[in-house]
A and B are shown apart, each in its own frame.
Chain A
Amino acid sequence: MDGVNSFLDMGGYAATVWPAYGVTLAILGGLLVVSLRSLSRRKAELAILESQRERPRR
């Protein structure tokens, strides 16, 4: 337990090290999530459009 605490404490610099890793994860992870979601949204949109195109129009 002591080892975990001293690891989390980061030699007294916890306020520097952990926010830095957190911000990195938030920004890069956020970009990845946003990019993936727009990809799947567009995939769905394209599927709808293409199915409509195949149906003969009256």
Chain B
Amino acid sequence: MPSFLHSLASPARFQRIANAIMPWAVLLTVGLIGTGVVWGLAFSPPDYQQGDTVRVMYIHVPAAWMAMACYAVMALLSASFLIWKHQLADLAARACAPIGACFTAVALITGSLWGKPTWGTWWVWDARLTSVLILFFLYLGYMALAAAFDDRERGGRAAAILACVGAINLPIIKYSVEWWNTLHQGASVFRMDGPTIDNAMLWPLVLTGIGFNALFVVLLLVRIKSELLARRIEVLQRARAAGRS
């Protein structure tokens, strides 16, 4: 694994790999999300209990998956940045944060919209929604810390330490919230997505789920490329300023 990461760590190599992956990722994103959304909206059956509101699930649930997966990727990249000091891992971890925050926001907002007809109110302190909200705060903290230093490198390392501390605490927070929720659970709250799900609903969910993963890859590659260019610009500007003086 380290040697694989090392080989990825050179910007030129990254560009080549990114350019090779990009068209496929775009194709998968458009194809899978497009098919999944059309299937979910038009061809999957309404739920016997929730009616057509269940169609929100085809974006809400994948967004919640991505919110968590993105934090895991960010924490792994942060740890590998702290251990092996790859600049690219730092760039990638930072590029992850806004993407994760956006998926988290989508999960929260669609969950709230779904909650209105289901629970009769916009917000319920449901275990899943609450955990996702805390996850959103962790993303905000990471981004705020990474941006708070004048020295880019230092901000990256501080944020990487925070991501690792957050990753250790996240499962504890999640289980605490779930436990707290069972303690206070009202009668009207029921699970949004039970373990048993009909195939006619599972397929669009799987399609949008994989599609969201592909979208994550597209966004990540674009943002890393952009960050690489920003570094290069910084170096050139510094060289020019040094040449002038």
* Chain A residues within CB distance 8 Å of chain B: 7, 10-13, 16-17, 19-21, 23-24, 27-28, 31-32, 35-36, 38-39, 42-43, 45-46, 49-50, 52-53, 57
9 A-B residue pairs with CB within 8 Å = A7-B42, A20-B109, A20-B114, A32-B219, A38-B226, A39-B229, A42-B226, A46-B232, A46-B236
Q: Is B110 among interface residues, defined by CB-CB distance under 8 A? A: yes
Complex alpha-carbon distance, A53 and B225, angstroms: 22
Complex contact B99–A11 (CB within 8 A): no
Complex contact A42–B229 (CB within 8 A): yes
Complex contact B117–A39 (CB within 8 A): no
B interface size (C-beta, 8 A): 40
Complex alpha-carbon distance, A45 and B51, angstroms: 52
Summarize A's interface: helix, strand, loop or mixed: helix
User: Which chain B residues lie closer than 8 Å to A7 at the CB level?
Assistant: 41-42
Indicate whether A19 sits within 8 Å of B113 (C-beta atoms), given known contacts A11-B52, A12-B51, A57-B243. yes
Indicate whether A23 sits within 8 Å of B222 (C-beta atoms), given known contacts A10-B52, A12-B51, A43-B229. no
Complex alpha-carbon distance, A23 and B63, angstroms: 12
* Chain A, Cβ-Cβ closest to B63: A24
**Total number of A-B contacts with CB less than 8 angstroms?**
90
Complex contact A11–B46 (CB within 8 A): yes
* Chain B, Cβ-Cβ closest to A11: B52
Indicate whether A13 sits within 8 Å of B53 (C-beta atoms), given known contacts A20-B113, A32-B219, A36-B222. yes
One of B3-11, B54-62, B148-156, B199-207 contacting the partner: B54-62
Q: A13-B52, A42-B226, A42-B233 are in contact. List 4 more A-B contacts (CB 8 A).
A: A20-B113, A42-B229, A46-B236, A52-B240
* Chain A, Cβ-Cβ closest to B243: A57
Complex contact A28–B215 (CB within 8 A): yes
Q: Is B237 among interface residues, defined by CB-CB distance under 8 A? A: yes
Complex contact A27–B102 (CB within 8 A): yes
Q: Is B218 among interface residues, defined by CB-CB distance under 8 A? A: yes
Q: Is B21 among interface residues, defined by CB-CB distance under 8 A? A: no
**How many whole Å from A20's CB to the nearest CB in chain B?**
4
